[in-house]
Structure 1
Amino acid sequence: MSHTPIRSRRPRRALLGASGLVGGLALTLAVPAMAGAHVSVSPDQLAAGDHGVLTFSFAHGCGTSPTTALRVTMPDGLASVAPTLDGDWTIQVERGDDGLVSAVTYTALTPVPTDLRGAVSMSVGLDEDTPETLAFPVVQQCVDGATEWTQLAEKGEDPHDLDAPAPVVTVTDGGEGAHGTTPAHPATATAADDDALGIGLGAGGLLAGVAALVVAVLAFRRRA
Protein backbone atom coordinates (compact mmCIF):
# COMPACT_ATOMS: atom_id res chain seq x y z
CA MET A 1 0.00 0.00 0.00
CA SER A 2 2.89 2.41 0.78
CA HIS A 3 4.20 2.19 -2.83
CA THR A 4 0.88 3.04 -4.53
CA PRO A 5 1.20 6.87 -4.33
CA ILE A 6 4.74 6.73 -5.80
CA ARG A 7 3.65 4.63 -8.78
CA SER A 8 0.67 6.90 -9.42
CA ARG A 9 2.91 9.97 -9.64
CA ARG A 10 5.30 8.47 -12.24
CA PRO A 11 2.93 8.63 -15.23
CA ARG A 12 1.99 12.17 -14.25
CA ARG A 13 5.63 13.33 -14.17
CA ALA A 14 6.32 11.67 -17.51
CA LEU A 15 3.21 13.30 -18.96
CA LEU A 16 4.31 16.74 -17.75
CA GLY A 17 7.72 16.27 -19.37
CA ALA A 18 6.17 15.18 -22.65
CA SER A 19 3.79 18.15 -22.52
CA GLY A 20 6.76 20.50 -22.11
CA LEU A 21 8.47 19.02 -25.15
CA VAL A 22 5.30 19.24 -27.24
CA GLY A 23 4.81 22.86 -26.17
CA GLY A 24 8.37 23.72 -27.15
CA LEU A 25 7.99 22.08 -30.54
CA ALA A 26 4.70 23.89 -31.13
CA LEU A 27 6.33 27.24 -30.32
CA THR A 28 9.22 26.42 -32.65
CA LEU A 29 6.80 25.91 -35.54
CA ALA A 30 4.37 28.71 -34.72
CA VAL A 31 6.69 31.64 -33.91
CA PRO A 32 8.49 31.84 -37.30
CA ALA A 33 5.09 31.88 -39.04
CA MET A 34 3.83 34.71 -36.83
CA ALA A 35 7.04 36.70 -37.15
CA GLY A 36 6.98 36.55 -40.96
CA ALA A 37 3.28 37.21 -41.40
CA HIS A 38 2.85 40.76 -42.69
CA VAL A 39 2.92 42.93 -45.79
CA SER A 40 5.74 45.48 -45.75
CA VAL A 41 6.67 48.38 -48.04
CA SER A 42 10.15 49.53 -49.02
CA PRO A 43 11.30 52.23 -48.93
CA ASP A 44 9.11 53.49 -46.12
CA GLN A 45 10.09 57.14 -46.71
CA LEU A 46 9.72 59.45 -49.73
CA ALA A 47 10.16 63.18 -50.17
CA ALA A 48 7.20 65.46 -50.89
CA GLY A 49 6.99 66.32 -54.58
CA ASP A 50 9.36 63.48 -55.50
CA HIS A 51 8.81 60.04 -57.02
CA GLY A 52 10.04 56.53 -56.25
CA VAL A 53 9.44 52.80 -56.65
CA LEU A 54 7.59 51.11 -53.81
CA THR A 55 7.97 47.37 -53.27
CA PHE A 56 5.31 45.49 -51.32
CA SER A 57 6.63 42.19 -49.98
CA PHE A 58 4.75 39.46 -48.14
CA ALA A 59 4.98 35.99 -46.64
CA HIS A 60 2.35 33.76 -45.02
CA GLY A 61 -0.76 35.74 -44.15
CA CYS A 62 -3.35 32.99 -44.66
CA GLY A 63 -1.98 30.23 -42.49
CA THR A 64 -0.68 27.48 -44.77
CA SER A 65 -2.65 28.59 -47.84
CA PRO A 66 -0.66 29.95 -50.84
CA THR A 67 -1.14 33.58 -51.90
CA THR A 68 -3.02 34.17 -55.15
CA ALA A 69 -3.37 37.97 -55.32
CA LEU A 70 -2.63 41.31 -53.67
CA ARG A 71 -5.00 44.27 -54.00
CA VAL A 72 -3.32 47.54 -53.03
CA THR A 73 -5.53 50.60 -52.45
CA MET A 74 -3.97 53.98 -53.22
CA PRO A 75 -4.12 56.80 -50.63
CA ASP A 76 -4.93 60.43 -51.43
CA GLY A 77 -1.93 62.59 -52.24
CA LEU A 78 -0.41 60.61 -55.12
CA ALA A 79 0.12 62.47 -58.39
CA SER A 80 0.80 59.30 -60.39
CA VAL A 81 0.90 55.51 -60.08
CA ALA A 82 2.52 53.09 -62.55
CA PRO A 83 2.52 49.37 -61.61
CA THR A 84 5.68 47.46 -62.51
CA LEU A 85 5.19 44.84 -65.21
CA ASP A 86 6.26 41.45 -63.90
CA GLY A 87 6.11 38.08 -65.66
CA ASP A 88 4.94 36.36 -62.44
CA TRP A 89 1.82 38.51 -62.06
CA THR A 90 -1.09 39.86 -64.08
CA ILE A 91 -2.08 43.43 -63.26
CA GLN A 92 -5.51 45.05 -63.04
CA VAL A 93 -5.70 48.84 -62.58
CA GLU A 94 -8.75 50.62 -61.16
CA ARG A 95 -9.25 54.38 -61.64
CA GLY A 96 -11.41 56.91 -59.86
CA ASP A 97 -13.61 59.59 -61.37
CA ASP A 98 -10.58 61.91 -61.53
CA GLY A 99 -8.73 59.44 -63.75
CA LEU A 100 -6.10 58.67 -61.12
CA VAL A 101 -5.29 55.10 -60.12
CA SER A 102 -7.38 54.14 -57.07
CA ALA A 103 -6.32 50.49 -56.67
CA VAL A 104 -4.04 47.90 -58.26
CA THR A 105 -4.59 44.15 -58.12
CA TYR A 106 -1.65 41.81 -58.76
CA THR A 107 -2.75 38.23 -59.48
CA ALA A 108 -0.11 35.50 -59.33
CA LEU A 109 0.14 33.26 -62.39
CA THR A 110 1.13 30.53 -59.92
CA PRO A 111 0.06 30.76 -56.23
CA VAL A 112 2.97 31.75 -53.97
CA PRO A 113 3.68 29.01 -51.36
CA THR A 114 3.85 30.04 -47.70
CA ASP A 115 7.54 29.09 -47.45
CA LEU A 116 8.47 31.62 -50.15
CA ARG A 117 8.42 35.41 -50.04
CA GLY A 118 6.71 37.31 -52.82
CA ALA A 119 6.89 40.95 -53.90
CA VAL A 120 5.19 43.39 -56.27
CA SER A 121 6.14 46.97 -57.04
CA MET A 122 4.93 50.24 -58.52
CA SER A 123 6.27 53.69 -59.31
CA VAL A 124 4.52 56.56 -57.51
CA GLY A 125 4.74 60.33 -57.79
CA LEU A 126 4.01 62.68 -54.89
CA ASP A 127 2.54 66.17 -54.84
CA GLU A 128 4.10 69.04 -52.93
CA ASP A 129 1.10 68.96 -50.58
CA THR A 130 1.10 65.19 -50.04
CA PRO A 131 0.19 64.37 -46.39
CA GLU A 132 2.88 63.33 -43.91
CA THR A 133 1.90 59.66 -44.06
CA LEU A 134 0.58 57.50 -46.88
CA ALA A 135 -1.22 54.30 -45.91
CA PHE A 136 -1.64 51.56 -48.53
CA PRO A 137 -4.33 49.09 -47.39
CA VAL A 138 -3.64 45.64 -48.85
CA VAL A 139 -5.93 42.64 -49.20
CA GLN A 140 -3.95 39.39 -49.49
CA GLN A 141 -6.04 36.79 -51.30
CA CYS A 142 -5.14 33.13 -50.82
CA VAL A 143 -6.31 29.79 -52.18
CA ASP A 144 -8.26 29.45 -48.93
CA GLY A 145 -9.27 32.68 -47.24
CA ALA A 146 -7.83 36.19 -47.26
CA THR A 147 -6.14 38.65 -44.89
CA GLU A 148 -6.90 42.37 -44.89
CA TRP A 149 -3.82 44.38 -43.96
CA THR A 150 -5.76 47.59 -43.30
CA GLN A 151 -5.27 48.53 -39.65
CA LEU A 152 -3.76 51.94 -38.84
CA ALA A 153 -2.07 52.85 -35.56
CA GLU A 154 -3.71 55.55 -33.47
CA LYS A 155 -1.64 58.44 -32.12
CA GLY A 156 0.87 57.04 -29.64
CA GLU A 157 0.18 53.44 -30.64
CA ASP A 158 2.94 51.14 -31.87
CA PRO A 159 2.08 49.75 -35.35
CA HIS A 160 3.83 46.51 -34.37
CA ASP A 161 1.10 45.91 -31.80
CA LEU A 162 -1.53 45.67 -34.54
CA ASP A 163 -2.66 42.28 -35.79
CA ALA A 164 -2.85 43.30 -39.47
CA PRO A 165 -1.20 46.72 -40.03
CA ALA A 166 -1.40 48.45 -43.40
CA PRO A 167 1.93 49.34 -45.06
CA VAL A 168 2.72 53.02 -44.42
CA VAL A 169 5.12 55.41 -46.15
CA THR A 170 6.34 58.53 -44.32
CA VAL A 171 6.59 61.70 -46.42
CA THR A 172 9.56 63.96 -45.60
CA ASP A 173 10.40 67.53 -46.60
CA GLY A 174 13.33 66.26 -48.66
CA GLY A 175 16.73 64.65 -48.34
CA GLU A 176 16.04 61.31 -46.64
CA GLY A 177 13.54 60.07 -49.19
CA ALA A 178 14.78 62.07 -52.17
CA HIS A 179 14.56 60.40 -55.56
CA GLY A 180 12.90 57.33 -54.11
CA THR A 181 16.12 55.87 -52.79
CA THR A 182 15.60 52.16 -52.21
CA PRO A 183 18.00 49.90 -50.25
CA ALA A 184 19.45 47.04 -52.27
CA HIS A 185 17.24 43.92 -52.16
CA PRO A 186 14.84 45.25 -49.48
CA ALA A 187 12.54 42.23 -49.60
CA THR A 188 15.45 39.83 -49.07
CA ALA A 189 16.79 41.85 -46.14
CA THR A 190 13.38 41.97 -44.46
CA ALA A 191 12.87 38.26 -44.95
CA ALA A 192 16.25 37.50 -43.40
CA ASP A 193 15.45 39.66 -40.35
CA ASP A 194 12.05 37.99 -39.89
CA ASP A 195 13.48 34.50 -40.28
CA ALA A 196 16.31 35.21 -37.81
CA LEU A 197 13.85 36.45 -35.20
CA GLY A 198 11.48 33.54 -35.74
CA ILE A 199 14.25 30.93 -35.61
CA GLY A 200 15.73 32.46 -32.44
CA LEU A 201 12.42 32.53 -30.59
CA GLY A 202 11.47 29.09 -31.85
CA ALA A 203 14.79 27.61 -30.72
CA GLY A 204 14.20 29.06 -27.26
CA GLY A 205 10.83 27.32 -27.12
CA LEU A 206 12.36 24.01 -28.18
CA LEU A 207 15.12 24.25 -25.54
CA ALA A 208 12.50 24.97 -22.88
CA GLY A 209 10.56 21.88 -23.90
CA VAL A 210 13.66 19.66 -23.91
CA ALA A 211 14.69 20.99 -20.48
CA ALA A 212 11.27 20.12 -19.08
CA LEU A 213 11.55 16.59 -20.43
CA VAL A 214 15.05 16.12 -18.93
CA VAL A 215 13.84 17.25 -15.51
CA ALA A 216 10.89 14.86 -15.69
CA VAL A 217 13.10 11.91 -16.68
CA LEU A 218 15.57 12.59 -13.84
CA ALA A 219 12.73 12.84 -11.33
CA PHE A 220 11.28 9.58 -12.65
CA ARG A 221 14.64 7.79 -12.25
CA ARG A 222 15.05 9.03 -8.68
CA ARG A 223 11.62 7.65 -7.82
CA ALA A 224 12.30 4.30 -9.56
Structure 2
Amino acid sequence: MRSTTTITAGIIGGAILAVVLPLAASAHVSVSPDELVAGDHGVLTFSFSHGCETSPTTALKVTIPKGLASVSPTADGDWTIDVERGGDGLVSAVTYTALTPVPIDLRGAVSMGVGLDEDTPDTLAFPVVQTCVEGSTEWTQLAKDGEDPHSLDTPAPVVTVAPASAEGGHDMPDGHAETSATSDAGATASDPLAVALGAGGLFAGLAALVVAVLAYRRRA
Protein backbone atom coordinates (compact mmCIF):
# COMPACT_ATOMS: atom_id res chain seq x y z
CA MET A 1 0.00 0.00 0.00
CA ARG A 2 2.83 2.36 0.95
CA SER A 3 4.68 1.67 -2.33
CA THR A 4 1.48 2.34 -4.31
CA THR A 5 1.04 5.67 -2.53
CA THR A 6 4.66 6.60 -3.23
CA ILE A 7 4.32 5.76 -6.93
CA THR A 8 1.10 7.76 -7.18
CA ALA A 9 2.70 10.78 -5.51
CA GLY A 10 5.65 10.50 -7.85
CA ILE A 11 3.40 10.44 -10.91
CA ILE A 12 1.45 13.48 -9.72
CA GLY A 13 4.65 15.35 -8.86
CA GLY A 14 6.12 14.53 -12.25
CA ALA A 15 2.98 15.74 -14.01
CA ILE A 16 3.11 19.03 -12.12
CA LEU A 17 6.78 19.54 -13.01
CA ALA A 18 6.05 18.69 -16.64
CA VAL A 19 3.57 21.56 -16.75
CA VAL A 20 5.38 24.09 -14.56
CA LEU A 21 8.94 23.74 -15.89
CA PRO A 22 8.12 24.49 -19.58
CA LEU A 23 6.14 27.54 -18.46
CA ALA A 24 9.06 28.76 -16.37
CA ALA A 25 11.52 28.15 -19.21
CA SER A 26 9.40 30.13 -21.66
CA ALA A 27 8.77 32.97 -19.23
CA HIS A 28 10.38 36.07 -20.68
CA VAL A 29 9.73 39.31 -22.52
CA SER A 30 11.12 39.08 -26.05
CA VAL A 31 11.86 41.70 -28.72
CA SER A 32 11.44 41.33 -32.47
CA PRO A 33 13.38 41.85 -34.61
CA ASP A 34 16.48 41.26 -32.50
CA GLU A 35 18.84 42.79 -35.08
CA LEU A 36 18.88 46.20 -36.81
CA VAL A 37 21.33 48.06 -39.03
CA ALA A 38 23.17 51.19 -37.88
CA GLY A 39 21.75 54.37 -39.39
CA ASP A 40 18.45 52.64 -40.22
CA HIS A 41 14.90 52.78 -38.84
CA GLY A 42 12.76 49.91 -37.59
CA VAL A 43 9.79 48.88 -35.46
CA LEU A 44 10.51 46.88 -32.31
CA THR A 45 7.78 44.70 -30.83
CA PHE A 46 8.00 43.61 -27.19
CA SER A 47 5.86 40.57 -26.49
CA PHE A 48 5.03 38.31 -23.54
CA SER A 49 2.85 35.25 -23.09
CA HIS A 50 2.49 35.07 -19.33
CA GLY A 51 1.78 37.20 -16.31
CA CYS A 52 3.64 37.40 -13.00
CA GLU A 53 3.20 33.71 -12.14
CA THR A 54 -0.61 33.45 -12.08
CA SER A 55 -1.45 37.17 -12.12
CA PRO A 56 -2.59 39.07 -15.27
CA THR A 57 -0.32 41.77 -16.71
CA THR A 58 -1.35 45.39 -16.27
CA ALA A 59 1.67 47.34 -17.60
CA LEU A 60 5.07 47.18 -19.27
CA LYS A 61 7.71 49.85 -18.67
CA VAL A 62 10.48 49.79 -21.27
CA THR A 63 13.68 51.69 -20.47
CA ILE A 64 15.30 53.14 -23.59
CA PRO A 65 19.08 52.67 -23.94
CA LYS A 66 21.51 55.39 -24.98
CA GLY A 67 22.40 55.57 -28.65
CA LEU A 68 18.99 55.84 -30.31
CA ALA A 69 18.34 58.90 -32.45
CA SER A 70 14.55 58.70 -32.10
CA VAL A 71 11.78 56.71 -30.40
CA SER A 72 8.10 56.76 -31.43
CA PRO A 73 5.75 54.53 -29.41
CA THR A 74 3.01 52.91 -31.49
CA ALA A 75 -0.53 54.00 -30.62
CA ASP A 76 -2.66 50.99 -29.67
CA GLY A 77 -6.29 50.85 -28.61
CA ASP A 78 -5.51 48.22 -25.97
CA TRP A 79 -2.89 50.30 -24.13
CA THR A 80 -2.41 53.83 -22.84
CA ILE A 81 1.10 55.23 -23.32
CA ASP A 82 3.20 57.42 -21.04
CA VAL A 83 6.50 58.79 -22.39
CA GLU A 84 9.37 59.96 -20.16
CA ARG A 85 12.16 62.17 -21.51
CA GLY A 86 15.64 62.90 -20.21
CA GLY A 87 17.39 66.25 -19.91
CA ASP A 88 18.46 66.00 -23.56
CA GLY A 89 14.85 65.78 -24.68
CA LEU A 90 15.20 62.20 -25.90
CA VAL A 91 12.83 59.45 -24.78
CA SER A 92 14.22 57.66 -21.73
CA ALA A 93 11.33 55.30 -20.90
CA VAL A 94 7.92 54.29 -22.24
CA THR A 95 5.17 52.81 -20.06
CA TYR A 96 2.32 50.90 -21.70
CA THR A 97 -0.68 50.39 -19.41
CA ALA A 98 -3.31 47.85 -20.43
CA LEU A 99 -6.89 49.09 -20.51
CA THR A 100 -7.84 45.54 -19.49
CA PRO A 101 -5.32 43.26 -17.70
CA VAL A 102 -3.85 40.65 -20.06
CA PRO A 103 -4.68 37.11 -18.84
CA ILE A 104 -1.76 34.76 -18.27
CA ASP A 105 -2.81 32.45 -21.12
CA LEU A 106 -2.91 35.21 -23.77
CA ARG A 107 -0.04 36.82 -25.67
CA GLY A 108 0.38 40.56 -25.23
CA ALA A 109 2.54 42.90 -27.32
CA VAL A 110 3.50 46.57 -27.58
CA SER A 111 5.69 48.27 -30.16
CA MET A 112 7.68 51.38 -30.96
CA GLY A 113 9.47 52.84 -33.95
CA VAL A 114 13.18 53.55 -33.42
CA GLY A 115 15.81 55.41 -35.38
CA LEU A 116 19.50 54.52 -35.26
CA ASP A 117 22.50 56.62 -36.24
CA GLU A 118 26.04 55.70 -37.19
CA ASP A 119 27.18 55.99 -33.55
CA THR A 120 24.62 53.52 -32.17
CA PRO A 121 26.44 50.87 -30.07
CA ASP A 122 26.71 47.25 -31.19
CA THR A 123 24.06 46.08 -28.73
CA LEU A 124 20.98 47.78 -27.31
CA ALA A 125 19.49 46.44 -24.06
CA PHE A 126 15.90 47.35 -23.20
CA PRO A 127 15.21 46.60 -19.50
CA VAL A 128 11.51 45.92 -18.97
CA VAL A 129 9.45 46.01 -15.78
CA GLN A 130 6.30 43.91 -16.08
CA THR A 131 3.62 44.94 -13.59
CA CYS A 132 0.72 42.63 -12.80
CA VAL A 133 -2.46 42.76 -10.75
CA GLU A 134 -0.40 41.10 -8.04
CA GLY A 135 3.35 41.55 -8.06
CA SER A 136 5.83 42.49 -10.81
CA THR A 137 8.85 41.07 -12.64
CA GLU A 138 11.96 43.01 -13.65
CA TRP A 139 13.41 41.73 -16.91
CA THR A 140 16.75 43.49 -16.49
CA GLN A 141 19.51 40.88 -16.36
CA LEU A 142 22.33 41.14 -18.91
CA ALA A 143 24.73 38.34 -19.81
CA LYS A 144 28.36 38.90 -18.89
CA ASP A 145 31.23 38.09 -21.25
CA GLY A 146 31.14 34.38 -21.99
CA GLU A 147 27.82 33.86 -20.21
CA ASP A 148 24.90 32.20 -21.97
CA PRO A 149 21.93 34.64 -22.09
CA HIS A 150 19.55 31.67 -21.95
CA SER A 151 20.87 30.80 -18.50
CA LEU A 152 19.54 34.05 -17.01
CA ASP A 153 16.36 33.96 -14.94
CA THR A 154 15.02 37.37 -16.01
CA PRO A 155 16.95 38.52 -19.11
CA ALA A 156 16.42 41.96 -20.62
CA PRO A 157 15.46 42.06 -24.30
CA VAL A 158 18.56 42.82 -26.40
CA VAL A 159 18.88 44.05 -30.01
CA THR A 160 22.10 43.56 -31.98
CA VAL A 161 23.16 46.44 -34.26
CA ALA A 162 24.96 45.49 -37.47
CA PRO A 163 27.24 48.02 -39.19
CA ALA A 164 25.89 49.66 -42.35
CA SER A 165 27.81 49.29 -45.61
CA ALA A 166 28.07 51.82 -48.44
CA GLU A 167 25.63 49.69 -50.46
CA GLY A 168 23.07 49.84 -47.69
CA GLY A 169 23.61 46.25 -46.52
CA HIS A 170 25.70 44.66 -43.82
CA ASP A 171 29.43 45.23 -43.89
CA MET A 172 31.65 42.29 -44.77
CA PRO A 173 35.26 41.98 -43.63
CA ASP A 174 37.76 43.65 -45.98
CA GLY A 175 38.85 41.37 -48.76
CA HIS A 176 36.13 38.81 -48.04
CA ALA A 177 34.46 39.10 -51.44
CA GLU A 178 37.78 39.14 -53.28
CA THR A 179 39.07 36.16 -51.32
CA SER A 180 35.86 34.26 -51.95
CA ALA A 181 35.98 34.91 -55.69
CA THR A 182 39.67 33.98 -55.86
CA SER A 183 39.02 30.80 -53.92
CA ASP A 184 36.18 29.80 -56.23
CA ALA A 185 38.30 30.45 -59.32
CA GLY A 186 41.24 28.57 -57.83
CA ALA A 187 39.04 25.64 -56.88
CA THR A 188 37.62 25.41 -60.41
CA ALA A 189 41.05 25.65 -62.04
CA SER A 190 42.63 23.11 -59.73
CA ASP A 191 39.87 20.51 -60.12
CA PRO A 192 41.16 18.03 -62.78
CA LEU A 193 37.88 16.14 -62.87
CA ALA A 194 35.96 19.28 -63.79
CA VAL A 195 38.50 20.09 -66.53
CA ALA A 196 38.33 16.56 -67.92
CA LEU A 197 34.55 16.50 -67.95
CA GLY A 198 34.44 19.86 -69.67
CA ALA A 199 36.88 18.76 -72.36
CA GLY A 200 35.01 15.51 -72.87
CA GLY A 201 31.73 17.33 -73.30
CA LEU A 202 33.24 19.67 -75.89
CA PHE A 203 34.74 16.74 -77.84
CA ALA A 204 31.42 14.86 -77.84
CA GLY A 205 29.63 17.93 -79.14
CA LEU A 206 32.09 18.38 -82.04
CA ALA A 207 31.86 14.68 -82.93
CA ALA A 208 28.07 14.86 -83.05
CA LEU A 209 28.25 17.87 -85.33
CA VAL A 210 30.62 16.08 -87.76
CA VAL A 211 28.35 13.00 -87.88
CA ALA A 212 25.33 15.16 -88.61
CA VAL A 213 27.08 16.98 -91.46
CA LEU A 214 28.28 13.72 -93.08
CA ALA A 215 24.79 12.20 -92.82
CA TYR A 216 23.27 15.25 -94.46
CA ARG A 217 25.77 15.09 -97.37
CA ARG A 218 24.99 11.41 -97.98
CA ARG A 219 21.27 12.11 -98.23
CA ALA A 220 21.97 14.97 -100.63
Task: Classify the TM-score, shorter chain.
Answer: 0.7 to 0.9
Distance in 2, matches of 1:61 and 1:170, equals 26
Is residue 131 of structure 2 the alignment partner of residue 141 of structure 1?
yes
CA RMSD, Structure 1 to Structure 2 (Å):
1.3
Is residue 158 of structure 2 the alignment partner of residue 158 of structure 1?
no
Runs of 4 or more above 6 Å deviation: none
Deviations 1:75-124 (A, max 9, x none): 00000000000000000000001000000000000000000010000000
Q: 1:95 aligns with which of 66, 78, 85?
A: 85
Distance in 2, matches of 1:112 and 1:138, equals 16
For normalisation by structure 1, the TM-score amounts to 0.72
SS of equivalent to 2:96: strand
Is residue 72 of structure 2 the alignment partner of residue 110 of structure 1?
no
Is residue 131 of structure 2 the alignment partner of residue 167 of structure 1?
no
Distance in 1, matches of 2:86 and 2:148, equals 32
Cα distance change on mapping 1:65 and 1:162 into 2, 3 Å:
same
Identity, % of aligned pairs?
73
For 1:132, the equivalent position in structure 2 comes to 122
Is residue 60 of structure 2 the alignment partner of residue 70 of structure 1?
yes
Query: Which structure's CA Rg is the greater one?
Result: 2
After TM superposition, list the pairs within 5 Å mapping 1:1-224 onto structure 2.
11-174=1-164, 175=169
Report if the CA contact (8 A) 1:84-1:122 is conserved: yes
Distance in 2, matches of 1:27 and 1:60, equals 17
User: Mind listing any 5+ residue stretches in structure 2 that lack a counterpart?
Assistant: 172-220
Report if the CA contact (8 A) 1:150-1:164 is conserved: yes
Deviations 1:124-156 (A, max 9, x none): 001101110000000000000000000000000
1:47 counterpart letter in structure 2: V
Comparing both chains, which one has the higher relative contact order based on Cα–Cα distances under 8 Å and sequence gaps of 6 or more? 1
For normalisation by structure 2, the TM-score amounts to 0.74
1:24 counterpart letter in structure 2: G
Instruction: Provide the aligned length of Structure 1 versus Structure 2.
Output: 167
Report if the CA contact (8 A) 1:46-1:176 is conserved: no
